[in-house]
Amino acid sequence: MAAMILGIGTDLCNIERIERTLDRFGDRFRHRVFTEIEQKKAERRKDVAGTYAKRWAAKEACSKALGTGLAMGIAWKDMAVSNLDTGQPVMKVTGWAADRLAEMTPEGYEALIHVTLTDDHPWAQAFVVIEARAIA
């Protein structure tokens, strides 16, 4: 059994728009959209808005890779970006997003979510690929 691609998603986000949203709504926006781990990461970075914008883009891209967008019940915090010690971003899904991932993963396979983030002010971008790998 070979690996297969289950979904691909991408999103482009304007960092300045996220900065204005942070200025206007502050913690209300942070707590609604981002997990505690995501907030801690962003708040200790020099480019706070850029860090949030990349994670926003990753959540949008993940929802697209799941084939749902954000319209089918996935909550923002059901998709969370963290980083390995190497700095590589990783996406973890919970709640409805995890249910959707399980539903789209064929029997005998495990799903892996690959995510990459980039920014070049004023833009932040994310790509998400969901791969199904045969369980050995």
Locate tokens 């960092």: which residue? 15
Mind listing the pLDDT tens digit for each residue in 20-34?
999 999 999 999 999
What is the mean predicted confidence (pLDDT) over 41-55? 97
Q: What is the distance between the alpha carbons of residues 121 and 15, in angstroms, rounded to a whole number?
A: 7
Percentage of the chain exceeding pLDDT 70: 96
Helix H or strand E segment including 114:
strand 109-120
- CA 35, CA 30: separation in Å to the nearest integer? 8
pLDDT for 4 equals: 95
Give this prediction's pTM: 0.93
Alpha helices in 5-132 (DSSP H): 15-25, 27-33, 36-43, 48-65, 95-104
Question: Does the structure show a pLDDT above 80 at 114?
Answer: yes
Q: Looking at the 3D structure of the chain, how many domains does it have?
A: 1
Yes or no: say if 80 and 35 are a contact pair by the CB < 8 Å rule: yes
Strand partners of residue 80: 92
Q: Is 81 helix (H, G, I), strand (E, B) or coil?
A: strand
The reported pLDDT for the residue numbered 136 is 82
- Given pLDDT bands bounded at 50, 70 and 90, which one contains residue 92? very high
Q: Is the pLDDT of residue 105 over 90?
A: yes
Sign of the dihedral through C-alpha 107, 84, 63, 29: positive
Can you give the CATH number for the domain in which 13 is found? 3.90.470.20
The helix or strand, by DSSP H or E, that contains position 129, with its residue range, turns out to be strand 123-134
Q: What pLDDT is recorded for position 70?
A: 66
Q: Once rounded to an integer, what is the mean pLDDT over residues 89-117? A: 96
| Residue 115, amino acid | V
Q: Structural domain of residue 59, as residue ranges? A: 4-134
| pLDDT tens digit sequence for 57-88 | 999 999 999 998 666 667 899 999 999 999 99
